[in-house]
Amino acid sequence: MGVTKWIIICFLGLWCYNVNAHYPFLRVLNGSPTTIQQYPILAQLLLDAWGNQQFVQHCAGVILTSRHLISAAHCFQYNKDTGRNYSIPQYWKVRVGSTYRTRGGVLHKVKSIIPHYGFDKRYYTNDISVVVVAKKFTIGNLIRQGTIIKPESELSPNSVCTLVGWGSTERDGPQPDQLQQTMMLVIDQGYCKSQYQTIGAIIADSMLCAGRTDVDGVDGCFGDSGGPLIYKGVVVGLVSFGYACGLKYYPGVYTKVSHYTDWIVKTISYNK
């Protein structure tokens, strides 16, 4: 299947490169400020892109145990522009317990990163990973373990979900310092699949689409990757990819967590 469009994305404001239009690094558009007290399961993943100890929030994740979190596999890949392999733990730190992306909370070193063995960097299938921190999180009011959806569970179209993260609040805009939240709806899988087929992208059964089909501007965006889509307090998706940000005809695409419950449990048990 061919890709009909190309775009230029500036990655971390440090370099630019061509990517397939339907797979920019994703991605809260039209969000409102919130606090970590409301979402203590959320973690920041800070990347030292150039190996000079300048760690900047790049992705997000969900705390599952006192040592483990889940995020998107696409965050942890080799990058030809820097010549660095971001699956190596030294390039990352985890911040927990902070409302703000540039300060506060507690920083943790990363012990290991386990991207899903079947991750496909072209089509973003199996876009999930487990991250193990070197020192246990101190669980409390600002740092809590998340609950993930039961295996093989499915959400009905139009189910109301919440996306939270530090991603850009407007298309091509800067990332906010304060945590943001926005409400969106689960989109019918068949509709989402047909829309993305027009640009050569695949919507697999292991993916979940969410957004708004009646209005532009409700979506995740740059910096939200790996963060949680939440339904009634339960994590049902992880921010994966999309076509630009906030286009109503191209909903955001999320890793469907219920498809990976067994893999998550096994990976955590084998990587202490």
Point out the catalytic residue in the list 127, 168, 224, 258: 127
68 is catalytic: no
127 is catalytic: yes
Point out the catalytic residue in the list 98, 225, 240, 258: 225
196 to 42, 128, 224, 250, 262: CA distances (angstroms): 29, 20, 20, 7, 28
Point out the catalytic residue in the list 22, 58, 68, 74: 74
Q: What tokens were used for 54?
A: 């300048």
Q: How many CA atoms lie within 13 A of 91 on its CB side?
A: 19
DSSP per-residue letters across 1-63:
-----EEEEEETTTEEEEEETT--S---BT-EE--TTT-TTEEEEEE-TTSSS--EEEEEEEE
225 is catalytic: yes
| Residues with active-site annotation | 74, 127, 225
